[in-house]
Amino acid sequence: MVLMALTGCNASMTEPAKETKMPPGSSVDAKIRRFAPTEITADISQLSEGDRKALTKIIEAAKLLDPLFLRQVWSGNEALQKKLAADTSPEGKARLHYFRINVGPWSRLDNKEPFIEGVPREKPKNANYYPDDMTKEEFESWVKTLPEAEQRRATGFFSVIRRNADNKLKLVPYSEEYREFLEPAAKLLREAADLTTNATLKKFIAKRADALKSDDYYASDVAWMELDAPIDLTFGPYETYEDELFGFKAGFEAYVTVRDEAESEKLKKFSGWLQELENNLPFEPKYRNPKLGAAAPIRVVDLVFSSGDGNHDVQTAAFNLPNDERVVKEKGAKRVMLKNTQEAKFNQTLMPISKVVLEGAQQSEVDFDSFFTHILCHELM
């Protein structure tokens, strides 16, 4: 009932009649119980004093991406969250909690079915990157009227599409649309850059702060590929999954992590064997590569804080970025392995499964170090 007023403030919805009415007995609590609350930790004892202060600033900046991404997911999200927060009953608190898990009123584990009354039955494919009433045909026709440079921006990662006073489509850069979040985030990143003594981290976060204001992420993506620091940061607009209309627009996310030194050494050791493995592959030498090129970097890290598109429903245990084809062609892509998240999934998911499918005598063979080493070797291959 609380959401009926919300749909009134989204008059541009094309089919407002298709709102959700929850079936009797539907339980948000049951949906929440499918998730296992898990505490993960990371060792920051190896960080210098300056890096620890920088880490605090970086986390403050990353927190700003949560409300930003909430806005990106759906045009009604912010108003809905306020209404849910006003309901302090146990049921109301459960709805708000599950809303926050999903960053919206659609259950991502259940094919994006709505779990709150009064919202569209289907999660809008346009997210909040395009007007609610815009069709694909309208967008495509409009893009054809633009100069070539504007066409690239309209179909690029870092702009939203809005309507002007004449109800015509217009392009708005991320730096303008999300200024209230990006300007303070850029300020915090610059303060962090002044605190760290690591040259590659200083370079990346300074360039990324510039990118938040210019919408030009190329130079900072290159700097991210060259990042080699105890603090390993991923921060910015990357994945395009929320844009189900075209797959053009990037959601903001942050992964604030620290390098796992022991696993990094293991990775370095395994990497040193790759040429020998290549030289002994069981086929004719002419088909072997006599000089393997530098492999795309793999980073083994522990997660300290995640936000935005990096923190909803099922948690990411690894990712491969950037998505800019220019950077990938020049520098390759970087694979980041979140070891403590992997271990949490292992303990909360695989261990319980093993107790069902394995005999008791085999339980001692279930071991996270072996599991994770296998993952590292797979990524190296």
- Residue range 107-157, pLDDT digits in tens: 999 999 999 999 999 999 999 999 999 999 999 999 999 999 999 999 999
pLDDT digits over 44-101, tens only?
999 999 999 999 999 999 999 999 999 999 999 999 999 999 999 999 999 999 999 9
Provide, rounded to the nearest whole percent, the portion of the chain with pLDDT above 70: 92
b/e string for 162-172 if b means 16 or more Cβ within 10 A?
eeeeeeebebe
pLDDT digits over 29-53, tens only?
999 999 999 999 999 999 999 999 9
CA 20 to chain CA mean position, Å: 28
DSSP state of 349: I
Among residues 46, 44, 66, 40, which one has the least CA distance to residue 56? Answer: 44
What pTM, to 2 d.p., does this model score? 0.89
CA–CA distance, 48 with 58 (Å, rounded to integer): 15
**Can you list the pairs that 160-168 forms with residues at least 24 positions away whose Cβ atoms lie under 8 Å?**
160/128, 160/129, 160/130, 160/249, 161/129, 161/130, 161/131, 161/134, 162/131, 163/131, 168/142
pLDDT digits over 191-234, tens only?
999 999 999 999 999 999 999 999 999 999 999 999 999 999 99
CA–CA distance, 60 with 363 (Å, rounded to integer): 42
The strand pairing partners of 170, in sequence order, are: 162
Q: What is the pLDDT of residue 378?
A: 84
pLDDT digits over 340-357, tens only?
999 999 999 999 999 999
Provide, rounded to the nearest whole percent, the portion of the chain with pLDDT above 90: 80
Under 8 Å between Cβ of 331 and 225: yes
Going by pLDDT thresholds of 50, 70 and 90, the confidence category of residue 22 is low
State the DSSP string of 181-243: HHHHHHHHHHHHHHH---HHHHHHHHHHHHHHHHS--HHHHHHHHT--SSEEEEEEE---TT-
